[in-house]
């Protein structure tokens, strides 16, 4: 009884502080509001945004609308998921310079991993399928073990890619999950989105927010397709 009175409130407070899970309703509200705000912003001014950003907003909006529908028939062709605009050679060059031919290690991931791996899953060039498959399990394992500490670059000088990279990695995991029906990848994407939430919950318009909104929308869409 005494033990209960002393420890119970302390442990409950500790759980509250350490638990980084974002309640579903809160996340859905954030997603609705975020998409609405950023759509309005881009309608009034395109400053700081490009065509690719608009495409991502449109995709996030469509996926979010789909999430709200009471029933669905998953038709992969109903959305334009293609967000990569890289050249084949650029991706090949990037793979060539990967240290030890690995996209991630215990000290972090190689800059532009999110962008490049997304391009690979979107385009599926035959010669890189084996490379892609060899990386995704390690990517999953290291993010799960090192958590946020895995989501840093293992090279300096690419700061501008870091935040987009993190969100593109989450999008990548959601897509792998839908393609392979392996829910472990969605599980990690959901965790990554929770970790990023505190940094974006008060954001309204930054281009980085677009990637985060799309990451959340993709994971929520995957939840609907794979878990409901």
Partner 1 sequence: MRIGILSPINNSLYSRVLAWECIQEPGIDVVKVVVRKTLSLNRIRGEIKRDGARLLKKVYKKLVLGEETIQRGDSKSLFARAKFLNLPGKNLTELCAEKSIPLLKVGDHNDPWVVEAIREAKLDAVLFTGGGLIRKNLLEASRLGVINCHAGLLPNYRGMDVVEWPILNSKKGIKDIGLTLHIMDRGVDTGPILIKKAIEVQKGESFEDIRMHMGPQMVDLMMEGLRGLRDGKLEAHSQKKEDGRQYFVMHPRVKEAAEKNLNSKT
Name the site residues for partner 1 (rule: CB under 8 A): 3-4, 7-8, 11-12, 14-15, 18-21, 24, 140-141, 144, 182-184, 186-188, 190-191, 194, 223, 227-228
Q: How far is the CB of 11 from partner 1 (least distance, A)?
A: 5
For partner 1, give the closer residue by CB, 73 or 228.
Answer: 228
Q: How far is the CB of 106 from partner 1 (least distance, A)?
A: 14
Q: How far apart are CA 25 and CA 31, in angstroms?
A: 10
> What are the two backbone dihedrals, phi and then psi, of residue 109, each rounded to the nearest 5 degrees?
-110, 160
Is residue 144 within 8 Å of residue 188, measured between CB atoms? yes
For partner 1, give the closer residue by CB, 20 or 90.
Answer: 20
Q: How far is the CB of 10 from partner 1 (least distance, A)?
A: 9
Q: How far apart are CA 111 and CA 117, in angstroms?
A: 11
Q: DSSP code of 228?
A: -
Q: How far is the CB of 15 from partner 1 (least distance, A)?
A: 5
For partner 1, give the closer residue by CB, 4 or 160.
Answer: 4
Q: How far is the CB of 22 from partner 1 (least distance, A)?
A: 10
For partner 1, give the closer residue by CB, 138 or 204.
Answer: 138
Q: How far apart are CA 106 and CA 147, in angstroms?
A: 10
Is residue 190 within 8 Å of residue 140, measured between CB atoms? no
For partner 1, give the closer residue by CB, 77 or 228.
Answer: 228
Token couple for 96: 């060539």
Q: How far is the CB of 166 from partner 1 (least distance, A)?
A: 17
Q: How far is the CB of 61 from partner 1 (least distance, A)?
A: 22
Within 8 A by CB and 6+ apart from 181, the residues are: 226
For 115, other C-beta atoms within 10 Å of its C-beta total: 22
Q: Find the DSSP H helices in the chain.
A: 2-18, 24-44, 51-68, 88-96, 113-123, 126-146, 159-180, 183-200, 207-222
For partner 1, give the closer residue by CB, 49 or 197.
Answer: 197
For partner 1, give the closer residue by CB, 45 or 71.
Answer: 71
Is residue 112 within 8 Å of residue 165, measured between CB atoms? yes
């Amino acid at each position: 009884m005494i033990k209960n009175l002393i420890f119970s409130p302390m442990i409950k407070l500790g759980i509250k502080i350490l638990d980084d899970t974002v309640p579903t309703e809160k996340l859905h509200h954030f997603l609705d509001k975020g998409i609405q705000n950023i759509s309005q912003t881009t309608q009034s001014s395109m400053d700081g945004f490009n065509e690719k950003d608009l495409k991502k907003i449109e995709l996030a909006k469509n996926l979010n609308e789909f999430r709200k529908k009471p029933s669905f028939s998953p038709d992969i062709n109903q959305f334009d998921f293609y967000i990569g605009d890289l050249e084949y050679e650029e991706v090949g060059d990037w793979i060539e310079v990967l240290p030890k031919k690995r996209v991630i290690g215990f000290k972090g991931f190689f800059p532009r991993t999110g962008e490049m791996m997304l391009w690979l899953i979107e385009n599926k060039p035959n010669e890189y399928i084996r490379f892609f498959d060899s990386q995704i399990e390690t990517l999953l394992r290291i993010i799960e073990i090192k958590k946020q500490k895995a989501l840093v670059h293992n090279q300096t000088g690419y700061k501008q890619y870091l935040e987009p990279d993190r969100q593109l990695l989450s999008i990548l995991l959601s897509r792998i999950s839908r393609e392979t029906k392996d829910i472990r990848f969605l599980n990690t994407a959901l965790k990554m989105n929770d970790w990023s939430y505190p940094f974006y919950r008060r954001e309204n318009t930054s281009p980085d927010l677009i990637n985060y909104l799309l990451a959340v929308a993709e994971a929520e869409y995957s939840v609907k397709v794979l878990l409901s």
